[in-house]
Amino acid sequence: MKKTLLLIVLIAVFSCKNAPKENVKPITITSGELKETVRFLASDRLLGRNTGSEGIDEAAAYLENQFNALGVKPYFETYRDDFKVDSLEAFNVVGVIEGNDPKLKDEYIIIGAHYDHIGIIEKIVDNDSIANGANDNAAGTSSVIAMAKYFAVKKNNKRSLMFVLFSAEEKGLLGSKHLAKKLKAENINLYTMVNMEMIGVPFKDRDYIAFLTGYGMSNMAEKMNEYLGSKVIGFSEIAKKYNLFRQSDNYAFYEAFKIPCQTISSCDLSNYEYYHHVDDEADKLDYNHMASLINSVIPAIEKMSNTPTKEIKMNEAE
């Protein structure tokens, strides 16, 4: 009897030691979930998500519901960060996952993308006048939701992660300018800002998956590739030529905080012909590519959120 009891105890102890730990199972972002988000945001029902429209209001409600379902808390009293564009009501959607380190949680990383587009346009093609904005930027928006899902499940970030969907980017980066100014006034301890823009199509014949705007301004690309153990992020001559660093929502945060705030993209206008076009539709995107890119980037964001010190830094001006 004693031997039997001892055997049972040993089996129980061994089983506990070898039981799978919570969150050990890898969390993989799928092409299907990205496609679902893009198809909703880029549907004709939302009429191109122009700032101040009923369509963008519905898009914002959808994004709020996504954050709420994931357990991502509002950063402000609600998810909406309200501002005005002339007489139009506009709003960024802002969620946060607090860091789990008593000290590092006061440092923030922003993961952002704009969810607005240009609405109904004059250039009609095949009786279609809705600029749906699938690649620009329902694709980037879907990546922010996906990364929020990842960290909401893992809960392993020592620094706090702020997930922001910007409005009025197409009006001149107005949503990001508003929020950057607001957070600067709050004296938030912002570590870095990673913006996701037009990631819906892959490059051909390049030795990286996506480029980083303002490539040489900081060591972000270098550190991300180091964290990932491969060259995921590269340099685009075209992005430099058109100064894309200044053309997306990262720029407002760089201007306000003078820290590394840069955009990841896989479209530098050389590999997609439907920029601000009615044919920027959900069926034009490569969702396997998007999933591969996001799953590649997440471990770098994870590392950024957990290093003991701030390793992403501005490079000295030449």
DSSP states of 101-113? STTGGGEEEEEEE
The answer to whether position 65 is within a domain reads yes
Residue 316: the pLDDT is: 85
* Spatial CA neighbour of 246 closest among 280, 197, 293, 297: 197
The answer to whether position 18 is within a domain reads no
Residue 7: the pLDDT is: 45
Q: Rounded to an integer, what distance in angstroms lies between the CA atom of residue 16 and that of residue 248?
A: 50
Of all residues in the chain, the percent with pLDDT exceeding 90 is 88
Query: Is residue 76 predicted with pLDDT exceeding 50?
Result: yes
The answer to whether position 14 is within a domain reads no
Q: Note the pTM of the prediction, 2 decimals.
A: 0.92
Q: What are the tens digits of pLDDT across the range 47-63?
A: 999 999 999 999 999 99
Contact 137, 113 (CB under 8 A): yes
How does residue 11 score in pLDDT terms, banded at 50, 70 and 90? very low
The answer to whether position 8 is within a domain reads no
Our count of domains for the chain comes to 1
Contact 200, 134 (CB under 8 A): yes
The answer to whether position 258 is within a domain reads yes
Q: Rounded to an integer, what distance in angstroms lies between the CA atom of residue 108 and that of residue 141?
A: 19
Query: Is residue 73 predicted with pLDDT exceeding 70?
Result: yes
Q: Which two tokens stand for residue 163?
A: 């997930």
The answer to whether position 175 is within a domain reads yes
Query: Is residue 111 predicted with pLDDT exceeding 50?
Result: yes
Residue 10: the pLDDT is: 42
Residue 124: the pLDDT is: 86
Query: Is residue 129 predicted with pLDDT exceeding 80?
Result: yes
Query: Is residue 148 predicted with pLDDT exceeding 60?
Result: yes
> What count of Cα atoms within 13 Å lies in the side-chain half-sphere of residue 280?
34
Q: Rounded to an integer, what distance in angstroms lies between the CA atom of residue 286 and that of residue 282?
A: 9
Q: Rounded to an integer, what distance in angstroms lies between the CA atom of residue 203 and that of residue 201?
A: 7
How does residue 126 score in pLDDT terms, banded at 50, 70 and 90? confident
Residue 147: the pLDDT is: 98
Residue 123: the pLDDT is: 84
Contact 176, 253 (CB under 8 A): yes
Residue 262: the pLDDT is: 98
Q: Rounded to an integer, what distance in angstroms lies between the CA atom of residue 143 and that of residue 196?
A: 7
Domain of residue 109 covers: 25-304
Query: Is residue 161 predicted with pLDDT exceeding 70?
Result: yes
Mean pLDDT of the chain: 93
Q: Which amino acid is at 10?
A: L
Indicate the length of the chain as a whole number.
Answer: 318
How does residue 122 score in pLDDT terms, banded at 50, 70 and 90? confident
Residue range 156-177: average pLDDT?
Answer: 98
Contact 211, 225 (CB under 8 A): no
Helix (H) or strand (E) holding 2: helix 2-18
Q: What are the tens digits of pLDDT across the range 13-23?
A: 444 444 444 44
Residue range 68-93: average pLDDT?
Answer: 98
Q: What are the tens digits of pLDDT across the range 205-231?
A: 999 999 999 999 999 999 999 999 999
Residue 68 is part of a domain; what is its CATH number?
3.40.630.10
The answer to whether position 276 is within a domain reads yes
Residue 25: the pLDDT is: 63
* Buried b or exposed e, range 252-285, using 16+ CB within 10 angstroms: bbbbbbebbbbbbbbbbeeebebeebbebbbebb
The answer to whether position 257 is within a domain reads yes
Q: What are the tens digits of pLDDT across the range 256-305?
A: 999 999 999 999 999 999 999 999 999 999 999 999 999 999 999 999 99
